[in-house]
Structure 1
């Protein structure tokens, strides 16, 4: 008779007689929860609740209700973290095609399995872990001079246990941020490929510390004793509040593009106003020239006029008027577009990585019209 493919919980979670999914090959494991072993009432309550959730998860597993089983195992995991819960949860997430999370749980199960675990159970965990790792990228980050540095992948804090071993990420480009008190933050781009393990060994740069000038007693003259807060590391110093696990960390927004776009908009508006004033002057000049032609009782239409030079000058003035008017309209439209771009950038949700930008503006005029060329990069 073929047994259902399921790991068995440890003695801390259930007895073999009550929750054996594979009774013929099951092997009970030592109880890992320290709180329950020490007699703590709250710990025993969590352990009992985790036992019930684990059993319900096993029933959902047998019925192939993968989503229900995942939810129940996750609730049990939140109360008691044992290798068998992690192993079952990893298998369920394989069924749900959540391979990156599955790899994390299966790796935990493989690392924390007790010596009494049966070889076939270890082989099964390793099989599913290999299956998951073939579809995700694996990162091993070893900071040379700060082994306890905090790490964030794409703005999400990585759990300390995973930092010490392997990080599993989806294939593609990711942002890896490393930070530790007393060192400058380091941000790098890593490209992960499915089934490939990438080892990264960065070295953090210590922050420059300016030593205070020694003064005499009372703060006057040489030889003064250093303040207690300065002589005792960690005393009186503000503690850096670290984000909770899984929290998204927003990088600071760069306002350079907004400033550049606003400046370019102001330039465009100034150009438009200047061209408008010039266009108004040309319009007044054309009106005066037309009045002068009409006063001599002639016109500028075919057949040939009696005032050819005045008509030619009027045509040049009208052409200049059209050019200036078109240029003013282009400048106003460009200034408006730049304002919209600046506001859109300022209001847009912040991305995971921001780069500074540059904007170049160059007005151009010709007899056919005017334009404002804008080049922006960020």
Structure 2
């Protein structure tokens, strides 16, 4: 996994240097899934800044700077560069610092779970109004609305009051899926509608996975073509058949194999997206009886021995 992460990281760096920001981000995301080193996280944030994904970039840089400060092997130059990028990103978003004396409380921003107290880093949001909720089974829920501007920061010390004996605990929010758009809440109460929404979300996630794998396949194809061209300049591909073949032959073989693996993963991701999408459409047209609500999760999987998409849940 470490070796595969290193290859993906190099592909991300190469794409970044050629101003292919989306491809660089895709490669860095895949590398980060295999290795959580702050160097990968920092480069991912750099690509996200170029793409205007300021909240994502700020979250990655916050953790990058924190982990870099804890690492005795990081250099002063690295830390200064990370701090500068972090400051640039924070100027584009709103910063919310939530503190409470109660550990293990769930902090929600606009209905999405963002962490448990104590939070290691601040919360970053797009400029505008946001609803904050802090919940714990043993305490009364605390809710507030804040207005944040780009570069602004609000610090909230939240005091949670002990829940009275016999009072029902707060209803747990479903954090496995993004919040429904306004106006869809009533329809979501129907299990059939929930299943249709889950199917559509699954198909969409599979399409995203296919796009990521296609980008990585194209990057490896470009690398393979470059290695092949250099080998021709150095004497041709016949050198790879002789004993003691140059290292470039191994690099060419690895690039071709990676391109093949990523292409297969992209193909099956799109096949899965089409299958789920058609199945959801057919179900929506012919189904009449109620079904139990299901939650389905799809995510791209990248490993040293194979590629694909992971699906968890059921229909």
TM-score range, shorter chain: 0.5 to 0.7
CA RMSD of aligned residues (A): 3.0
| CA–CA distance in structure 2, aligned partners of residues 207 and 65 of structure 1 | 53
Say which SS state the counterpart of residue 72 (structure 2) adopts: coil
Q: Which runs of 5+ in 1 are unaligned?
A: 1-45, 212-237, 256-378
Q: 1:48 to 1:242 in 2, by over 3 A?
A: farther
Distance 1:104 1:246 in 2: 20
Q: Residue 103 of structure 2 contacts residue 118 of structure 2 at CA under 8 Å; is this kept in 1?
A: no
The reply to whether residue 167 of structure 1 matches residue 98 of structure 2 is: no
The answer as to 2:16 corresponding to 1:67 is no
Distance verdict in 2 for CA 1:109–1:254, change over 3 Å: closer
8 Å CA contact 1:157, 1:247 repeated in 2: no
- Give the Å deviation of 1:183: 1.6
Task: State whether structure 2 residue 112 is matched by structure 1 residue 112.
Answer: no
**Which segments of 5 or more consecutive residues in structure 2 lack a partner in the other structure?**
187-315
Q: Distance in 2 between matches of 1:173 and 1:100?
A: 15
Q: Which residue does the alignment assign to 2:237? A: none
Query: For the residues of structure 2 that align with 1:82 and 1:136, how far apart are their CA atoms?
Result: 24
Q: Secondary structure at the match of 2:81?
A: helix
The question of whether the paired residues in 2 share the 8 Å contact of 1:138 and 1:195 is answered with yes
More helix as a share of residues: 2
Larger strand proportion of the pair: 2
Would you say the 8 A contact 1:158–1:245 is kept in 2?
A: no
Q: Deviations over 1:22-58 (max 9, x none)?
A: xxxxxxxxxxxxxxxxxxxxxxxx3333222112111
For 2:110 and 2:33, how far apart are their aligned partners in 1?
Answer: 24
For normalisation by structure 1, the TM-score amounts to: 0.44
> What per-residue deviation string (whole Å, max 9, x for no partner) do you get for residues 62-115 of structure 1?
211100000111112222211101110111111111111111111111000122
Secondary structure, counterpart of 1:248 in structure 2: coil
Between Structure 1 and Structure 2, whose CA radius of gyration is higher?
1
1:1-378 matched pairs, under 5 angstroms? 46-113=1-68, 114-144=71-101, 146-160=102-116, 163-210=119-166, 243-244=174-175, 247-248=178-179
Distance (Å, rounded) in 2 between the aligned partners of 1:251 and 1:183? 28
Question: What TM-score, normalized by structure 2, do the two folds share?
Answer: 0.52
> Which residue is 1:13 aligned to?
none
Q: What residue number does 2:213 align with? A: none
Task: Figure out how many residues of one structure are paired with residues of the other and give that number.
Answer: 183
- Contact 1:77-1:85 at 8 Å conserved across structures: yes
C-alpha separation in 2, matches of 1:182 and 1:81? 34
